[in-house]
């Protein structure tokens, strides 16, 4: 049986492989960039207000901070309560061009022991959860091999 691939949060990312991108918005008046997307008004308190346009965000950035998640998080994260909890690394990455920090999970197999502040990361497609009919997709951060 083939599973349907469905974003865990619609409109936050697009594409596959090298074409995978997080989607943000940019204000036409002040050029501020936001993630998650903003569809109503500019969040910059000093902005006179402008039109918001969807923009693909940089694929790469550097670790700003990180930690490990040792608790079962709330929705939309889905996990089987019958299985033991597996901790995962949670990474805050400052995007290269936009200079904004985006939080996300590390790719499976990467732990906090292998991370350092300043390490270069790239965003890649990930899987949040699978059930019999659906693969719920998200984004993950993966080291590029370039150090701090």
- The phi, psi pair for 65, rounded to 5°, reads -165, 165
Count of domains observed in the chain: 1
Look at residue 20 and tell me if it is in a domain. Answer: yes
C-alpha R_g of the chain = 16
Q: Is residue 115 part of a domain?
A: yes
Q: What pLDDT, in 10s, does the model give residues 2-55? A: 888 889 889 999 998 889 999 999 999 999 999 998 888 999 999 998 999 999
Mean pLDDT is lowest, of 64-78, 81-95, 109-123, for: 64-78
Looking at the domain assignment, is residue 57 inside a domain? yes
**Phi then psi for 28, rounded to 5 degrees?**
-70, -20
Q: What's the domain range around 44?
A: 4-143
pLDDT at residue number 1: 63
pLDDT > 50? residue 127? yes
Query: How sure is the predictor about 69, in pLDDT bands with cuts at 50, 70 and 90?
Result: confident
The answer to whether residues 59 and 122 touch, using CB atoms and an 8 Å cutoff, is: yes
Residue 148: inside a domain: no
Give the 3-state secondary structure of the chain.
CCCEEEECCCCCEECCHHHCEEEEEEECCCCCEECCCCCCCCCCCCCCCCCEEEEECCCEEEEEEEEEECCCCCCCCCCCCCCCCCCEEEEEEEECCCCCEEEEEECCCCCHHHCCCCCEEEEEEEEEEECCCEEEEEEEEEECCCCC
Q: What's this model's pTM, rounded to 2 decimal places?
A: 0.87
Residue 66 lies in a domain: yes
User: Is 124 part of a structural domain of the chain?
Assistant: yes
């Amino acid at each position: 049986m083939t599973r349907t691939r469905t974003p865990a949060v619609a409109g936050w990312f697009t594409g596959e492989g090298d074409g995978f991108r997080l989607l943000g918005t940019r204000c036409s008046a002040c050029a501020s960039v936001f993630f998650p997307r903003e569809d109503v008004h500019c969040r910059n308190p000093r902005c006179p207000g402008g039109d918001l346009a969807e923009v693909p965000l940089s694929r790469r950035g550097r670790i700003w901070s990180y930690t490990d998640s040792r608790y079962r998080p709330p929705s939309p994260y889905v996990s089987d309560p019958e299985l033991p909890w597996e901790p995962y690394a949670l990474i805050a990455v400052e995007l290269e061009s936009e200079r904004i920090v985006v939080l996300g999970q590390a790719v499976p197999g990467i732990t906090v022991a292998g991370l350092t502040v300043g390490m270069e990361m790239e965003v890649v497609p990930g899987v949040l959860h699978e059930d019999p009919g659906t693969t719920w997709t998200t984004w993950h951060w993966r080291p590029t091999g370039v150090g701090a």
